[in-house]
Structure 1
Amino acid sequence: MAGWSGWRRIALLVTMSATLLGAGHAAPPPIEHFTRTPELDDVVVSPSGKRAALLVYGKNGRRRVGVIDLDPVAQPRIVAGFDDADVNEVMWVDDDRLAFEAAEPAYYVRDGGAGSFAVDHDGSNLRQLIAWRYTTQRAGSFVTSRVLPYSWELHSATHDGSGDVFVQQSLFDAKGDLDRVQLARLNTRTGELRNLSLGIPEGVRRWWLDVAGEPRMLSAYRDGRTRIYRRTADAAAPWEKIADFDTLKDPGYRPWHVERDGRMLVLARRGAGAALYELDPKSGQPGTEPLLAAGMFDIVPRKIIDSRSGRLLGVHFVADRPMSVWFDEGLQRLQRSLDASLPGHSNVISCGRCESARHFIVRSSSDRHPGEFLLFDREKRTLLPLGVARPWIDAATQGKRSLHRVEARDGLVLPVYVTRPAGAAEGQALPVVVLVHGGPFMRGSNLGWEAQAQFLASRGYLVLQPEFRGSEGYGYALFRAGWKEWGRAMQTDLQDTLRWAAKAQGADAGRACVVGGSYGGYAALMAPIATPGVFRCAASFAGVTDLSLLYDITWSDFSEAAKTYGLPVLIGPREDSAALDTVSPLKRAAEIKVPLLVGHGAGDRRVPIEHARRFIAAARSAGVEIESVIYDDEGHGFNKPGNESDWYGRLERFLARALDAAPASASK
């Protein structure tokens, strides 16, 4: 277990970072600067605000839990960690005890390779709560330990002084699909479990509790439909169904919070973007006027609850960047004051007893700064640096990011994020990388610091990140416009983004490449087929190559419900194989006339390796210029920084060759 030298190093690096901001650099940052794990990953304040938990990396490269006393400020101490696993999430059970989850850094976690634990703030009384094993029956007997088996996970803390946490169990049907999620209270000291799921409807997926810790709202899913239930504060009361709608085709709503007085708040799409509404108690439907909205953005807010009073004081959410809105006037003034002290940054405040707390944790970040953590003392009005997430990143070398609204050829407005290399003048003709997000039915980006975009910008490329039709986070209309448009309008959105950048950003559209992972990898491979002559190269990692395989491969992690109710609506029915073949790169590989870079993880279960193997063989048979790499120890993404660095290096050299630019790598 590491000593105090690691913590002093964090403080030293804070100072170094500040002195380097104005320094010039002839060479771009090394690739490893963009793939290294953060030195300080998160800071979580305790319910009273007297302590904070920290997720930090040790000398063995594993993420551990530390605790720092805040009143008064003391040296941090490591309280839990493992030689072969990372701590991935931590929460405070009460002011003296924490619960956390840990797992092996691998695409496939072995039996027993992950679990949930609880430990006191001084590192004592460590107890395992959940083990990723199918049984916790002790060898040689039929006695079952109080360690919960695989399928259980932490849900939330109670903060009621009981030492309990809420845990949930996922139960699966005979097909292997998720059937329902049950909720229980677990004592972190004794292992005693109390079931809260008696009498619940079928298909429950999510739970919402009131301030007293009683379940008050549920959402359930069955046969492509979502159902919303509520009940009174009486734990013996029956559940009442108040909504029933098609999960995809009806915008519907989602429960979000139950106030102390029983009022229920929900997230619903009634305008440009999803907003926060009060639920009408009689109709069971959202009201007509939003309590909080953010224009074209769908807000997905995180609650700020005072741990003593239980009052809802505000929300954190992401619009074009991370931001906060406080319903408490005094705390909103504090937010404005901190924003004025840290201009140009998004400053996210966390607190326990927010109404009375002296100390607050502030995470401050920007498009060019990956983030640092500071301690604000409300009495002294001072900010003390606690640590920097990536102290090796020099903000002066990072590109400036901006958000634009671009009109596609059919008039649909697309949000587009642009990262311009540091030092590049506005309108300067630069080679272009169109970076396509995965999903595709998810939000892609915001104006925060982003490793891959900044890596590409550091190599001299203008990086365009379009939120093409089908993307979530920008209203139901944009999401709905992407249905069954794989390889069609979703592709021309990329071309329209490039055309806009050539006119408005001075982009050199004659030197453009398309790059992406997962769906983005599919879009990269489809681009030279659907829009020939637009891009000079394409690079795909973990990309879908055959849409029929999404239905047919049985060893993927797509559920049968997704194949029955989701994929037919979003990409097209499996029976229409001719239509799916038309927009499958595998079936049209011979039409590709540009060089390709293809990478894949051998253990990928979302897009199994068969997609890559079949496509690589077809492309080579057709004479396509293709470079490929298979990472045997990766899945659907990167778990090992060394592999990600290798991929970035390959991508850098590939782009330089294809776009006639000399590689400028400073990589080891």
Structure 2
Amino acid sequence: MRFHPFLRALAVAGAFLCGHSQAADTAKALPPIADFFSNPEFTGAVLSPSGKYLAVKVSNKSSKRDMLGVVDLTTNAVKVVGNFSDADIGAYQWVNDERLVFTATDRDLAQGDMRYAPGLYAINRDGSKFRQLAMRNGQPFITNGSSLTSRELLPWHTYLMPQTGAQDSEYIYVQDRIFSSSGEYLYTNLLKLNTLNGRVNGSVKRPGDSYFWLLDNKGEPRLTMTNDKGGTNSVYYRDPANDEWRKLTDFERYTGHGGAFRPVSFGPDGTFYVVSHAPGKDTTAVFTYDIAAGKMSDKPLVALDGYDFSGNMIVRDNKLLGVNHLTDAWGTSWTDPAMKALQEKIDKMLPNTVNQLTLPARRETPWVLVTAFADIWPKRTMLYNTETDKLTLVGAAFSNIDPNQMARKDLVHYKARDGLSIPAWLTLPKGEGKNLPLIVLVHGGPWVRGGKWEWDPEAQFLASRGYAVLEPEYRGSTGYGGRLYRAGFKQWGLKMQDDITDGTRWAIDKGYADARRICIAGASYGGYATLMGLIKEPNLYKCGVEWVGVSDINLMYTGSWFYASDFTDDYKRYGMPVLIGDREKDAEQLKATSPLLRASEVKQPLLMAYGGADTRVPLPHGTKFYNAVKETNPNVEWIEYEEEGHGWKLPKNRIDFWGKVEKFLDKNIGAQ
């Protein structure tokens, strides 16, 4: 099958390559909500190990299902090799240059309607030798071309590894996740699977309850991390001389305290890269680790000023070429001079975007994959030919988005009342950036990094409607150093909340925000912070929007008889008492910081939304608070998406929700 033209050549002088003019635009209608919250049209592509072929998702216009296509980059011929009548293609990887593995998913089902696991399938790039490898549920899910029986299939809890392995045979390693009879995750076995005949060559011996596996530079299992008793995790190394496991370090599971390092990857000649704190530094960096000597290098290989290391090593042909890393945005530091020169060349062709280069595993072809993005540009994927110096557009995530209508996003810092420096993301609508209605958008987690410099649909949608958006990386957030993270322990509703308040007042003092028109909003922990913000700062926030938010800390411990929670007993025993609060020792604090017990204090207009199938923050968090607050506050709106889980998977629900948010905000702090 051939689609022509599947790939469109871009002129170097084209608008995307050289950038849209940032001059004042002629009056345009506001971009539709669907442009922000529909599913992305394109989600990326994967080069084969040689770089001769490109695997992509291709949309079937009649069934509207995602299919798996392979592009021969020599001829640009496209062949669809994987498709389902009742599902979409999920994840996919190259096994070798001839064969791929893939899973199934369903973009049209939310969490409450999901009945199947991803399954696992393999096929050659020419469409031959199809084989189902794992079930999607308790029964085999056989598609055309398979003659398997149920006994030959792996169980439904078989998953792809994030690492691809050596990609030089028909074998891959897959994860077999084991659960208890009550559905609680226990550990992960690692299986070596032949993708041609579906047979497993045994299970890799575990030193304990493994939850993480790492392959070495030859694609063999070399490291595992285990969940141990007493709330600790251990890191084990598998000695290639005798296949015996040796413990390297351990640390507290939920706080991260202790431990010499965390593993990153194995590089050329077995070099082991780890993340650890440099002496005297608050942030983490990359070091090499001598396993035989049990010692890290004295100096870091990669250190990022003001940021903990997050990223990966780039290795090709047994040589370290560079490092991908996250600072304010994703970027690459090349150690290879030729790759550094190539990056500079592509950056000149695409001067208005961050441009990440992905290389095939082997240097056999001139093709390089380029992912380009900016705060005003959603991701676009291109191919660059090093012989012709031509860029070719493969696909765009949100092609209807006009960068000229988007808002710039900046990382700022402000001081909390105790002197701690708080990072925050500030998005200002195009045009005048003073005295604006402000949305304080609080990220969930809370023990995660909230944002990065890229196009974000929520902040951009709000900015397109005339609102300034402030997203604080309050204490407890990760990625900015240990001090900021640890300062959030047991600070729900206390100093974590103060950080959000201090950021709001900073925006007012800087002249960005109109003090009379400020709304606080967020999901999950951000929903909790929204409720606590309305309670603690009634004169600061004029309204609140919260979805899937925690309303009662004690309910996180006890759950509800009818609604299941995915919080494990282990987390309740070892994690929550340290991170959030001990139910007995901190009982009075938890009462004071549980919004449900203070619902009568919320007098401002409030919009609440919950998913009926949510297992992270079950529905009673919403219904109990709604029933309580309605007794004293008539200006509360309720939305329930019965089939949704912890957030909105379906585009129709995202579009509906943000349409209601737009009306609510216009009514209460109107942008115009």
Q: Kindly tell me the number of residue pairs found equivalent between the two proteins.
A: 650
The residue that corresponds to 1:216 in the other structure is 222
The residue that corresponds to 1:375 in the other structure is 383
Q: Which moved more, 1:34-43 or 1:24-33?
A: 24-33
Secondary structure (helix, strand or coil) at the match of 2:151 reads: coil
Q: Is the 8 A contact 2:410 2:426 kept in 1?
A: yes
Deviations 1:435-473 (A, max 9, x none): 111111111101100000100000000111111111111
The residue that corresponds to 2:353 in the other structure is 345
Q: 1:404 aligns with which of 404, 408, 412?
A: 412
- AA aligned opposite 2:3: W
Deviation at 1:288, TM superposition (A): 3.5
Cα distance change on mapping 1:58 and 1:305 into 2, 3 Å: farther
Q: 2:135 aligns with which of 131, 134, 151?
A: 131
The residue that corresponds to 2:121 in the other structure is 117
The residue that corresponds to 2:615 in the other structure is 605
The residue that corresponds to 1:162 in the other structure is 169
Deviation at 1:504, TM superposition (A): 2.8
Deviation at 1:173, TM superposition (A): 4.2
Q: 2:277 aligns with which of 269, 292, 310?
A: 269
Alignment of 1:157-556 (within 5 A): 157-173=164-180, 176-198=183-205, 200-222=206-228, 223-234=230-241, 236-247=242-253, 248-250=255-257, 252=259, 253-270=261-278, 271-281=281-291, 284-306=294-316, 309-353=317-361, 355-422=363-430, 424-426=431-433, 428-504=434-510, 506-553=512-559, 555-556=564-565
The residue that corresponds to 2:146 in the other structure is none
In the alignment, the residues of structure 2 paired with residue 460 and residue 233 of structure 1 have an alpha-carbon distance, to the nearest angstrom, of 60
Deviations 1:548-593 (A, max 9, x none): 1111116101111111111111110122433212111111010012
Cα distance change on mapping 1:412 and 1:38 into 2, 3 Å: same
Percent identical among aligned pairs is 36
Deviation at 1:490, TM superposition (A): 1.0
Q: Give me the TM-score of the superposition, normalised by structure 2.
A: 0.91
Cα distance change on mapping 1:137 and 1:95 into 2, 3 Å: closer
Q: Is the 8 A contact 2:373 2:455 kept in 1?
A: yes
The residue that corresponds to 2:54 in the other structure is 52
The residue that corresponds to 1:560 in the other structure is 569
Deviation at 1:299, TM superposition (A): 2.1
Secondary structure (helix, strand or coil) at the match of 2:152 reads: coil
The residue that corresponds to 1:665 in the other structure is none
Deviation at 1:650, TM superposition (A): 0.5
In the alignment, the residues of structure 1 paired with residue 299 and residue 512 of structure 2 have an alpha-carbon distance, to the nearest angstrom, of 42
Secondary structure (helix, strand or coil) at the match of 2:531 reads: helix
RMSD: 2.6
Cα distance change on mapping 1:34 and 1:472 into 2, 3 Å: same
In the alignment, the residues of structure 2 paired with residue 611 and residue 10 of structure 1 have an alpha-carbon distance, to the nearest angstrom, of 52
In the alignment, the residues of structure 2 paired with residue 61 and residue 406 of structure 1 have an alpha-carbon distance, to the nearest angstrom, of 47
In the alignment, the residues of structure 2 paired with residue 281 and residue 103 of structure 1 have an alpha-carbon distance, to the nearest angstrom, of 40
Q: Is the 8 A contact 1:272 1:295 kept in 2?
A: no
In the alignment, the residues of structure 2 paired with residue 563 and residue 245 of structure 1 have an alpha-carbon distance, to the nearest angstrom, of 18
Q: Is the 8 A contact 1:41 1:56 kept in 2?
A: no
- AA aligned opposite 1:232: D
The residue that corresponds to 1:68 in the other structure is 71
Deviation at 1:526, TM superposition (A): 1.2
In the alignment, the residues of structure 1 paired with residue 331 and residue 597 of structure 2 have an alpha-carbon distance, to the nearest angstrom, of 45
Deviation at 1:108, TM superposition (A): 3.9
In the alignment, the residues of structure 2 paired with residue 613 and residue 335 of structure 1 have an alpha-carbon distance, to the nearest angstrom, of 53
- AA aligned opposite 1:560: D
Deviation at 1:100, TM superposition (A): 1.5
The residue that corresponds to 1:587 in the other structure is 597
Q: Is the 8 A contact 1:157 1:164 kept in 2?
A: no
Secondary structure (helix, strand or coil) at the match of 2:657 reads: helix
- AA aligned opposite 1:123: G
The residue that corresponds to 1:31 in the other structure is 33
Secondary structure (helix, strand or coil) at the match of 2:666 reads: helix
Deviations 1:298-334 (A, max 9, x none): 222133232xx23332232221011112222211221
In the alignment, the residues of structure 1 paired with residue 659 and residue 567 of structure 2 have an alpha-carbon distance, to the nearest angstrom, of 31
Secondary structure (helix, strand or coil) at the match of 1:510 reads: strand
Secondary structure (helix, strand or coil) at the match of 1:279 reads: strand
Cα distance change on mapping 1:167 and 1:656 into 2, 3 Å: same
Deviation at 1:425, TM superposition (A): 3.0
In the alignment, the residues of structure 2 paired with residue 284 and residue 114 of structure 1 have an alpha-carbon distance, to the nearest angstrom, of 40
In the alignment, the residues of structure 1 paired with residue 637 and residue 547 of structure 2 have an alpha-carbon distance, to the nearest angstrom, of 12
Cα distance change on mapping 1:661 and 1:449 into 2, 3 Å: closer
In the alignment, the residues of structure 2 paired with residue 135 and residue 435 of structure 1 have an alpha-carbon distance, to the nearest angstrom, of 44
Deviations 1:31-50 (A, max 9, x none): 00001111111111110001
In the alignment, the residues of structure 2 paired with residue 621 and residue 425 of structure 1 have an alpha-carbon distance, to the nearest angstrom, of 41
Cα distance change on mapping 1:227 and 1:315 into 2, 3 Å: same
Q: Is the 8 A contact 1:17 1:391 kept in 2?
A: no
Q: Is the 8 A contact 2:267 2:315 kept in 1?
A: no
Q: Structure 1: which 5+ runs fail to align?
A: 663-668
Cα distance change on mapping 1:505 and 1:217 into 2, 3 Å: farther
The residue that corresponds to 2:658 in the other structure is 648
In the alignment, the residues of structure 1 paired with residue 293 and residue 204 of structure 2 have an alpha-carbon distance, to the nearest angstrom, of 26
Secondary structure (helix, strand or coil) at the match of 2:302 reads: coil
Q: Is the 8 A contact 1:117 1:126 kept in 2?
A: yes
Cα distance change on mapping 1:73 and 1:430 into 2, 3 Å: farther
Deviation at 1:95, TM superposition (A): 0.9
The residue that corresponds to 1:573 in the other structure is 582
Deviation at 1:599, TM superposition (A): 0.3
Secondary structure (helix, strand or coil) at the match of 2:573 reads: helix
Deviation at 1:148, TM superposition (A): 1.0
Secondary structure (helix, strand or coil) at the match of 1:275 reads: strand
Cα distance change on mapping 1:633 and 1:409 into 2, 3 Å: same
Deviation at 1:171, TM superposition (A): 1.7
In the alignment, the residues of structure 2 paired with residue 84 and residue 578 of structure 1 have an alpha-carbon distance, to the nearest angstrom, of 52
Deviation at 1:278, TM superposition (A): 1.2
In the alignment, the residues of structure 1 paired with residue 207 and residue 188 of structure 2 have an alpha-carbon distance, to the nearest angstrom, of 11
Q: Which moved more, 1:259-268 or 1:444-453?
A: 259-268
Q: Is the 8 A contact 1:184 1:194 kept in 2?
A: yes
In the alignment, the residues of structure 2 paired with residue 6 and residue 549 of structure 1 have an alpha-carbon distance, to the nearest angstrom, of 56
Q: Which moved more, 1:162-171 or 1:501-510?
A: 501-510
The residue that corresponds to 1:89 in the other structure is 91
The residue that corresponds to 1:666 in the other structure is none
Deviation at 1:159, TM superposition (A): 3.4
- AA aligned opposite 2:56: L
In the alignment, the residues of structure 1 paired with residue 83 and residue 289 of structure 2 have an alpha-carbon distance, to the nearest angstrom, of 43
Q: 2:669 aligns with which of 649, 659, 664?
A: 659
Q: Structure 2: which 5+ runs fail to align?
A: 143-148
Deviation at 1:268, TM superposition (A): 1.9
